[in-house]
Amino acid sequence: MNVNDLAVVKLHRSAASATSANGAAQARWSVEAVQALLALPFDELMFRAQTVHREHWPARDIELATLLSVKTGGCPENCGYCPQSAEFDTGVKAQKLMSVEEVTQAAQAARDAGATRFCMGAAWRAPKDRDIEKVAELIQAVKGLGLQSCATLGMLEAHQARALRDAGLDYYNHNLDTAPEYYGDVVDTRSYQDRLDTLAHVRAAGISVCCGGIVGMGEAPVHRAGLLAQLANLDPYPESVPINSLVRVPGTPLADSEPIDPLEFVRVIAVARILMPRARVRLSAGRQQLGEAVQALCFLAGANSIFYGDKLLVTGNPDADADRRLLDKLGYASRAVGVVAEDAAEGAHA
C-alpha cells in the first residue's frame, strides 16, 4: 500500500461513521478498511498506532491484570481451543465453584499485592439462576474489600446481567473469539449471535464490557480483519479488548493449528489500537510464546494491559518477576489491577 491508499482507508472510515447512543460519532469499519490497515507497511502502521495511542493514553502505562478461576473445567461447550471443555481429554481436573471464604481470601491477597480489581472466571456454558445467586455473593464479598469486580461466566440472559449489576459487578468478559465466517470452525455448540446477545444484555445492564478474541486458530487474514471490525463496530466498542494468541493445548482440536507469525500478531494489536482508541488493549493468552522483543513491539503498537501472574485460568503465563524485569527493561510504569479475559486460548471465557 502506498501513501495514497491511506487516504482511501480514512475515507472508508469516515463515510461509514455512525452516531452512537450517547451522541458521539463512532466509526463503522468495513472488513475491507480493516484489511487495508493490516496490510500497511509495518513502519506506517506502527507510527499510526502509536500516534493514536499517545492521543488517548498516557505513555508507558501498562495495566497488570490478574484472574482467578472460581469454577474450573467440565464445560459442556466444545470451543476448539479450550482445555476446559468436557469433550476434550486435556488433563484439566473439573472443580466446583469456590466458596465465598476461598474467594475472599484470594481477593484479599490480590488486594494486598496491589490489585484494585478482582476478576473471576467460571467454566459454564450459561450459568443457571442459582449459579448467579452464588456468584452475586462472591461479587459482594469482593466489593466488600473495596475492590472493583469483574466476571466471565458464559452466556447470560438479560435478567441475569441485571442481577450481576445489582450485586455490584463492574465488568463482564465475553469474547467474540473470531470473525462470524470462521466461528463455526471453532465451536458449534453456540452461535455468534448468542455471543452478541450476551454482550447486548451486559451493555444494557450498564456493566462495562471486556471483549476480544483469539488469533492463530488457523483463521485466514480476512477473518482477523473480520474479528477486529466486529469488535470496533460494537456500539460503544468494549472498554477492554483482550487479544489472545492461541495456546495450543494438547488434546484440543486446535492443538495442531499453524502458529500466527509474530509480526502478524503485532499488526493485529496495532489495528485494534487504531480502531478502538479508548479501549484497554490487553495482551492475554499466549504471551509466553511471544518472547520479550515481540511483546515490546506490541506495547509500541498500543497494547497497554497484560495478564500478570504465573497462571491464567489453566494455562501458563510468564512469571510475574519476568514481567517486572521486562517492564523495567523498557522503562515502563505498571500498576496492578485484576481484569478478566475470556481468555481464549485456554478457555475463552475463563
For the window 59-98, what string marks contact with ligand SF4 as x by the rule CB under 6 A?
Answer: ----------------x-x-x--x-xx-------------
Does 211 participate in catalysis according to the annotation? no
Smallest gap from residue 71 Cβ to ligand SF4 (A): 9
* CB of 82 vs ligand SF4, minimal distance in Å: 3
Whether 82 sits among the annotated catalytic residues: the reply is yes
Site residues for ligand SF4, 148-187, by CB under 6 A, read 154
The smaller minimum CB distance to ligand SF4, of residues 31 and 161, is found at 161
Q: Is 56 exposed, middle or buried (0-12, 13-18, 19+ CB in 10 A)?
A: middle
Q: Is 211 annotated as a binding residue?
A: no
Site string for ligand SF4, 320-349 (x = CB under 6 A): ---------------------------xxx
Q: At its nearest, how many Å lie between ligand SF4 and the CB of residue 169? A: 18
Give phi and psi for 89, each to the nearest 5: -95, 95
119 is known as an active-site residue: yes
Q: Taking CB under 6 A as the rule, does residue 123 contact ligand SF4?
A: yes
Per rule CB under 6 A, is residue 214 in the interface with ligand SF4?
no
Q: How far apart are CA 148 and CA 111, in angstroms?
A: 10
Is 210 a catalytic site residue?
A: yes
Q: Which of these, 158, 211, 248, 187, lies nearest to 339 by C-alpha position? A: 211
Interface residues toward ligand SF4, by CB under 6 A: 75, 77, 79, 82, 84-85, 123, 125, 154, 347-350
- Catalytic residue numbers read 75, 79, 82, 119, 150, 210, 282
